[in-house]
Amino acid sequence: MGSRALHHLRRQRILRRILIAVLALALIALTAAGLVWVLESFRGYAPTHYEPKDMERERYEIQRRLSDGKPGP
């Protein structure tokens, strides 16, 4: 009878450790996802900073259309 109780205690201890490990991994994953979400929400998109050539090309196209007298799209 003593060995049954010992196996039961070992099983409980192992299950408890597995449960704690799973909860810890879930907490780490949620924290990482939350941090990514917060960082993405703070990032501002400035096309003049990232795409200066496209902005210059767009300005050139507008000026060319105005000088030609053609209506825009």
- Each domain of the chain, given as residue ranges in start order, spans 1-42, 46-73
pLDDT at 4: 86
Confidence band of 66 (pLDDT split at 50, 70, 90): confident
Confidence band of 51 (pLDDT split at 50, 70, 90): low
pLDDT at 73 over 60: no
pTM of the model: 0.53
Are 48 and 55 within 8 A, CB to CB? yes
Q: What's the mean pLDDT in 25-47?
A: 88
Average pLDDT score, the chain: 83
Q: How far is CA 31 from CA 19, 27, 43, 70, in A?
A: 18, 6, 18, 54
Q: Supply angle C-alpha 12, 19, 10, rounded to 5.
A: 20
